[in-house]
Structure 1
């Protein structure tokens, strides 16, 4: 039984609860009936006549109305949990979403949303990533965040979590798009970064608070990750992985895609290597992304994590082939006798150690 005191914002919250209702359906109902309140309170006859819903979906919708009082009580308690509801008509709804028909009808947010005028980059990749992937995710996120770029990811285990950490460790904001409610920390291993983002950055979801993680939710949230970003970076991905779904959404949305190359025989690099083969940008330095964004890369040297004496064999070979003047990647590979892929991996580790840095366009030099 619906109430005469129901507000339009409460009606939107109720619509978001209806099983199978996403932004397209809710927007269709609102456009047809004028407001969310009118859509929520429409009679069965009006619903059938509108043709917006199939008969089965209309039955599910009408059946859901019996939970109105429960959902209104939930809605009333959101502010106490520091959860905001951002509707499409609100001024702080991300303008980056507006070109897309499948944009969320509402967002649930803890913390803040990325500012529309600040460049943003999404970093995603394998959950079961290697040390190479962890280091790369943290390094690129930290360097881009230091340059003034907002870092977006999905707070999943592996690459996502290390990307968030890379920004957090620099004291910069980072934003997580969840495949569950914003009051559900998943996976639990990321609870520290979850709480850190509430203070510096934000957590957002199109799923109502309390929604548990479900496999079908994660591909859906990937389109939001890519939509919020000006460019998407893929770090370690198998040839069939969720990260490639994000890359596909990015390409459909007209976003630039960068992929970190890896060994040809490494399954965790198969997806990235295929993306590069298909025309994605090869990621070799933070400057590659910053140049696309029209920003300058000013490398801030950090204390060396280890000395030259502790470098592994390949890193030693590469370091000995790098000069104080910039050298091209293929020239370095030829000098040290390694493949280009092996050389790139060694260069990344040397960059992380603060021993070399990229000057752009695949040129590298020793740190002074």
Structure 2
């Protein structure tokens, strides 16, 4: 157990303003957050340490130390944290049980996220609908219909509240009585773009907004590229409705592929600039969405086990099945599986079993719903697999 997690368990709310401080510094990412815990038992201990002490750890650059010192002098962390709570903003450290499970296992998972509104169940099936800001009438109609269908099916829809496909899909979800979560490129209290203000307030009532940035943080260009990994990370499947050849949407696709998420694209006319990106994704092997109703039905059927429970599986209950229906080598493969996508060769290096044998084991674990194939000989853990991995 990490020292910060232990501090959170033992001191709870008392420690939260110091977690808030970590976020306000804007210099503490996932790797730094992990490294800090070799030197400090809690965020409070870090906050109270001198800059000279921090420098001796060699975790921070001189510029980062300067920003940490300025932040400590500039803000009253207790007052700001209470103000955030009064605005209905929840701060969720990665060490908290409330932290989104799917996000926890991605590369560069944010150490702290902020949420306004509600979070979907940790194990609820999720899909992201993303695409061009300057979408066509065709793209707008597809985004709207997809949002409606997923809402009717009870599937949580993730997107970025951006102009065009994102906001059209999320608006359709909310108006159809579904749940949607928006990932923002600034603080959760900062509405951007301004034209999405109506959608923002609807999301607060029937969904939520999330950001890795502290409240009050103004959007920046690089923040939108950063948040795209969170959109894909929170999704089981990524749906691209329209995209230009050079598009920010494709950054989300790259993150999705790295994270082992399934990617589907809507085909468009080869003469339409907003279809260049989606048609190229299909040419490269992305799934094709040619029947909206059929696609949503297939998604529901594949993820029906998560929808039936809509809650984390009790690990004590998972331990018995894990012992009962997994062979010893299957258990080895499961233990060796990374949070990101992996191959039989990677598992062979970890388990010392032959790669050709592990390929068969991976296929067997896919049939049991523990691994999922994402193409090109790569696999990822399913939610069921994550549960079992923790249990064995």
Give the TM-score, by structure 1 length.
0.75
Give, in whole Å, the separation in 2 of the partners of 1:141 and 1:35: 42
Q: CA deviation at 1:292?
A: 4.4
The structure 1 residue matched to 2:186, chosen from 155, 171, 180, is: 180
In structure 1, list runs of 5 or more residues that go unmatched.
Answer: 1-5, 298-368
Structure 1 window deviating more from structure 2 (59-68 vs 118-127): it is 59-68
The structure 2 residue matched to 1:135, chosen from 134, 141, 158, is: 141
Structure 1 residues 139, 153: closer, same or farther in 2, change over 3 A?
same
Task: Identify the residue that residue 17 of structure 2 maps to in structure 1.
Answer: 10
Equivalent residues of 1:7, 1:37 under 8 A apart: no
Q: CA deviation at 1:26?
A: 2.8
Task: Identify the residue that residue 85 of structure 2 maps to in structure 1.
Answer: 79
Residue 236 of structure 1 aligns to a residue in which SS?
Answer: coil
Check if 1:262 corresponds to 2:268. Answer: yes
Task: Identify the residue that residue 49 of structure 2 maps to in structure 1.
Answer: 42
4+ runs of 1 displaced by more than 6 Å? Answer: none
Per-residue CA shift, 1:140-182, capped at 9, x if unaligned?
1110121121011000000010010111121111111110111
Per-residue CA shift, 1:252-304, capped at 9, x if unaligned?
0000000111111211111111111111101112323542453599xxxxxxx
The structure 2 residue matched to 1:27, chosen from 28, 34, 38, is: 34
Structure 1 window deviating more from structure 2 (186-195 vs 171-180): it is 186-195
Task: Identify the residue that residue 148 of structure 1 maps to in structure 2.
Answer: 154
Equivalent residues of 1:24, 1:103 under 8 A apart: no
The structure 2 residue matched to 1:123, chosen from 122, 129, 150, is: 129
**Which of these two proteins has the greater Rg computed from alpha carbons?**
1
Give, in whole Å, the separation in 1 of the partners of 2:38 and 2:296: 39
Equivalent residues of 2:149, 2:296 under 8 A apart: no
Residue 123 of structure 1 aligns to a residue in which SS?
Answer: strand
Q: CA deviation at 1:100?
A: 2.2
Give, in whole Å, the separation in 2 of the partners of 1:296 and 1:182: 29
Structure 1 window deviating more from structure 2 (10-19 vs 123-132): it is 10-19
Structure 1 window deviating more from structure 2 (72-81 vs 137-146): it is 72-81
Check if 1:214 corresponds to 2:220. Answer: yes
Per-residue CA shift, 1:172-212, capped at 9, x if unaligned?
11111110111111112111211111111111111111111
Residue 57 of structure 1 aligns to a residue in which SS?
Answer: helix
The structure 2 residue matched to 1:59, chosen from 66, 87, 90, is: 66
Check if 1:205 corresponds to 2:206. Answer: no
More helix by share: 2
Per-residue CA shift, 1:227-257, capped at 9, x if unaligned?
1100001111111111000000000000000
Residue 176 of structure 1 aligns to a residue in which SS?
Answer: strand
In structure 2, list runs of 5 or more residues that go unmatched.
Answer: 1-12, 305-392
Task: Identify the residue that residue 247 of structure 2 maps to in structure 1.
Answer: 241
* Alignment: residue pair count: 291
The structure 1 residue matched to 2:167, chosen from 161, 167, 190, is: 161
Equivalent residues of 1:14, 1:72 under 8 A apart: no
Equivalent residues of 2:125, 2:303 under 8 A apart: no
Residue 56 of structure 1 aligns to a residue in which SS?
Answer: helix
Check if 1:100 corresponds to 2:106. Answer: yes
Q: CA deviation at 1:45?
A: 3.1
Task: Identify the residue that residue 357 of structure 2 maps to in structure 1.
Answer: none
Residue 150 of structure 2 aligns to a residue in which SS?
Answer: helix
Give, in whole Å, the separation in 2 of the partners of 1:296 and 1:99: 19
Give, in whole Å, the separation in 1 of the partners of 2:302 and 2:175: 22
Give, in whole Å, the separation in 2 of the partners of 1:205 and 1:19: 13
Per-residue CA shift, 1:82-141, capped at 9, x if unaligned?
111111122211011121241111111111112122110001111111111111111011
Structure 1 residues 7, 27: closer, same or farther in 2, change over 3 A?
farther
Residue 301 of structure 2 aligns to a residue in which SS?
Answer: coil
Q: CA RMSD in A?
A: 1.9
Equivalent residues of 1:111, 1:201 under 8 A apart: yes
Give the TM-score, by structure 2 length.
0.71
